[in-house]
Every structure is written in structure tokens, then in C-alpha cells.
A and B are shown apart, each in its own frame.
Chain A
């Protein structure tokens, strides 16, 4: 499974952060299973939150069942999506 996370917006919205690209096949098996499980259950994205300088996360999941994307906005990012973002970042650091 390939996962791509793109973060934009926030107070530092003019800073273009590189997308985090992750192949779960390159991760430790236990971590890969956890990430794949969360990514397989990726919910539909939500509407932008009210306010300013809110972060936005665009998540792309590409696997045998196809490719899907969803966008999530602070402060209304679902808990499982936060977990997925956190684990993806951790895995990215290890690779």
C-alpha cells in the first residue's frame, strides 16, 4: 500500500512542506499492519473548519482496491485519521 500525506495551511501556510510518501511494504511488519488497517478505513473527508490558519491534510491511499483521497481540516480531524498521520510520520522518519 502506498500512502501520501500532504499538509498545507496553518500560520506557516506560505511554507511548502514536501509530501510524505510511504510504501507500507518498506515498513516494519507490525507498523505496516497498523497503518494499512487505518488507511483501509479512511473516512470521507470533512468540510473546512471555521477560523484562520487551520491546517489541512490531504491523504491519498493507493492499494489493490484502487486509489482514494480525502481531505481533513483542523480542528475536526477524526481520531483514527490523526493516528494514521502520526504513524505515517513515524514510519517516514524511520525510512
Chain B
């Protein structure tokens, strides 16, 4: 049976709207609004405490409280590295109010930022990467035939690809969603980029990229391909994509690159020093857990599954060196907090993690 949020309006609405529903809705609506408000206020309070502990200037309730009065607005800026390797001191080529430039990389990055900003705002009421209106900064044409995109803590940089294995990195919306996802992860949880916490960092970025793409395409979990980086493939890349969240380890099998090394189960966790301790490799385990949850619950991945994952990311109990087991337990707790102890959602979370071999009890 396909899952739907009990009442979709409660899935991702600002607290002030929930407050109105709690006051004026039907008995059933009031019950759900109060439950959601309760969970949300608990998380927000805990998050504020965590933010203070992390040395932020103050809790973010300020934004939440003013959300109704101060409409948020996208703020995108694109610079052109002109095939150099500098990321600062560059020519600014497109601002928020500018029209298309005719440069595909510039316009793709700009549009991808827009779709990603919309996703975070409309789905999670999040105002940009830091929830405090941070401009989305992008550098395109980074390097020469540069086959990569990265997040450096302030901006995303996109290479044009080598033209053989990889094309332009701005072409793929899931890549843009992934890189901006790293910004959100850094802001909320600062997961260390090594080993298990690094793999969780990569996992959440893949989840973010997949959700942004699926929402743009209007796909349900059953309709989505769950591939990451499919649009990046160059003419010599032999495979479907870089990663497959549905079936980790099957994304590609290439003569020169070998076979996709991602494991799909905890028993196959790869212990390595390469790739920061296998951050892009072992993320496959958690990716499959998210896929299993999303398809089990049905509907859109950014509804219940996305909200549960987002709550877990924002939990003050998520430490920078979190393990898979630790994160899995937090997703279970987030599901119980948001949907109730004896509901379908926490049970589905437990089953998804169990199927990939991650248990916390």
C-alpha cells in the first residue's frame, strides 16, 4: 500500500501555519498539528542548544519566528573561473536578477541552484544552506578538463569534465543538489569527512541530490531511477551512473575503471584509507536503506523519508564522528517523534536499516 503523509499539509509546513491549524482545524487536524508542533519544537529547542554549543552566534528561532513576516528570497551568484584553478577574485557573470547568459555552464548552475533552493525552502522551510539566507555561490569552468565538482565550505565549484568519462558537471541536477547538500550537512552536523561519519556525509548529500532531482521531475519513489550522476556520463563511461542507491555496486562496470565498488550491506563494509576512508564507497549501505524506506512507505521521497532524515541530521545527538549505527538510531527516534511510537514510519525505518545489516538494539 502506498504511504501518504496522514495529511500532506502537516509534512513540511512552517510552525506558524501548524499553529493556526491546531487552533482552527477539525479535531483530527488539531491532533496531528499538535503532534507535529510538539515534535518540531522539541527538535528546534534541541537544535538551538546544539547550535550554541557549536559556537554559533545564536539560535535560529529568530528566523523561524519571523518567517511569516519576512519572505525569503533566492540569492544566487555565479563566477567564471575561465578554466583557471582560482576560486576567488573571479569575474562575476550572473546575479539573481540577471537573465540567461548563453553560457550553458553558467545557466545550468544558476537554474540548478534555483531548483535546489526551492527544494529546501518549499519542502523543509529552510532558508538556503545555513537557514539564514546564505547566498548560493557557484564557480563554473573550474580548471582544465576538470572532472569534478566540489564544495569548499563557501561555494560550489564545477569543472567542465574531461569530455571522455565525464561531461560538464553542471548538467546534472543531482550533482548540484548533492554539493549544496554538503553545505547543509556542514551547517547542521559537521560530520567529519572520514570513515563512517564521512560516508554518512556523502550518503546524506546523495539523498539530498536524489530528492532535488525527483521533486523536479515529480517522481514518486517507485518511479525514480535512484541513480546518482547519470547525466554526467561521457562517451567513454561504461555504465548507468556513478552510483545506484537502489542497487549499490551495480552503477557501472567499465574496462578502465573497473566495477562499482559500493557495498549494499554492512557485512561488506569496505575498510580502506583511500577516498577518505571510503566515504563514496560505504555510503552505498545507507543509500540503500533510504531507498528501501522510501519505496516501502511509498509516495515521494522528500515527504516522510526526507523529513525523518532531515530531523535526524538536525538532532543535537548527531555528533561529528557519528557511526552508521548511531545515525540509524537517530532516524528511528526521529520517526517516532514525528509520527508517533506505534505508527508505520518508525517500523519502516527499523526494517530498512535491518535489511542492510545496521541494527542498534
Q: Which of B231-254 contact A (CB under 8 A)?
A: 232, 242-243, 252
Asked if A51 lies at the interface with its beta carbon under 8 angstroms from chain B, I say yes
A14 CA / B276 CA spacing, docked (Å): 11
Asked if B99 lies at the interface with its beta carbon under 8 angstroms from chain A, I say no
Contact (A11, B178) CB under 8 Å given A16-B258, A51-B153, A53-B150: yes
A17 CA / B201 CA spacing, docked (Å): 22
The main secondary structure of chain A at its interface with chain B is loop
B152 touching A51 by the CB < 8 A rule?
Answer: yes
A12 touching B148 by the CB < 8 A rule?
Answer: yes
Q: Residues of B within 8 Å of A, CB-based: how many? A: 41
B242 touching A15 by the CB < 8 A rule?
Answer: yes
Contact (A18, B256) CB under 8 Å given A8-B274, A9-B275, A52-B201: yes
Q: How large is the interface on A (under 10, 10 to 19, 20 to 34, 35 or more residues)?
A: 20 to 34
Give min CB distance, A79 to chain B, whole Å: 8
Q: Which of A45-94 contact B (CB under 8 A)?
A: 49-55, 74-75, 77, 79, 82, 86
A18 CA / B262 CA spacing, docked (Å): 17
1/0 contact string of A7-26 vs chain B (CB within 8 Å): 01111111111100000000
A–B complex contacts, Cβ < 8 Å, 5 sampled: A9-B280, A11-B229, A14-B262, A51-B153, A53-B151
- Assuming A14-B280, A52-B201, what are 13 further A-B pairs, CB within 8 angstroms? A11-B148, A11-B229, A12-B280, A13-B281, A14-B243, A14-B260, A15-B242, A15-B257, A52-B182, A52-B186, A52-B193, A75-B87, A75-B152
